[in-house]
Amino acid sequence: MLLIADAGSTKADWAWVAKDGENTFVNTLGFNPVVHPQEILLGEVEKLSKDLLPGLIPKEIHYYGAGCWDHRRKKVIYDALVSVYPSAKIEVMHDLLGAARATCGRNAGIACILGTGSNTCLYDGEDVTDNVTNLGFMLGDEGSGSHLGKAFLRAYFYRELDDELNDAFEKFTTIDKSMVLDKIYESDMPNTYLASFTRFMGENISHPLIQKIVFESFGEFLDRHVRKYHGHLRVPIHFIGSIAFHFKSILLAALNERDLRAGRFVQKPIEALADFHQNEL
């Protein structure tokens, strides 16, 4: 039996993959070893074991996670998982490989993550062969929820919203400069907080200013990442994540402007990953 995780910074989707094809899907809070303490993941894995999948002991665990780009950060994940499932064979991988397997399968392409954070990779059908550096939400994460939220908050505090949009936002939430800065600089999940404002943006996507913010953020993402890959005009560009899914029409416009070929848009890759690993049973 296999336990598979697709973990972003905001939430994690888990699949219990059984031989009979009767797979079970559950979710917990997300985790990113770059910005979150290990205790958050440990608590969620214990909840998974005791409450969500009680009594189920996996033979193998395949964990695809945000921020898992080096041994030190992967070890944070491994240690939490092995403390709850000591008999399981555990493999911790970057969420980019999960994105590639979920969207490209065994074909070549460019896989993109646009959720709370963002990332990309070039995939040859088996392995990730290239990855433009991701600098995280403070320096990068172009096109992501945190990037969009940051841009919108700047527009709000710099008085760039018209009266209609400004009034709508102040009915949506009550914030001030001190509250926002405290959430960003003193909380454990600043990127998730920034991304939370995309809900308002999605509800008001017909407003020209919000369309402009989203289009420019996606353009920056495509120019700084996707267009750096060799052969980017020849292979499909696939996307996973809530931001790509919910703002698909604007993302398609940004792709078309650059003559890039749109591939699959997958909001939740966990089912595709379960199918990918089903053959291993």
pLDDT tens-digit series, residues 65-117: 988 888 898 999 999 999 999 999 999 998 889 999 999 988 999 999 998 88
Stretch (H or E) spanning 175: none
Helix (H, G, I), strand (E, B) or coil at 57: coil
CA distance 246 to 219: 16
CATH of 2-100+269-278, one of 3.40.50.300, 3.40.50.1360, 3.30.420.40, 3.40.1010.10: 3.30.420.40
Residue 197 predicted with pLDDT over 70: yes
Question: What is the per-residue pLDDT for 11?
Answer: 83
For the segment 117-144, the average pLDDT, to the nearest whole number, is 90
Q: Are 94 and 64 in contact (CB under 8 A)?
A: yes
**Amino acid in position 61:** I
Q: The tokens of 44 are what?
A: 């969620």
The domain ranges of the chain are: 2-100+269-278
The residue with tokens 């888990």 is: 14
Residue 10 scores a pLDDT above 80: no
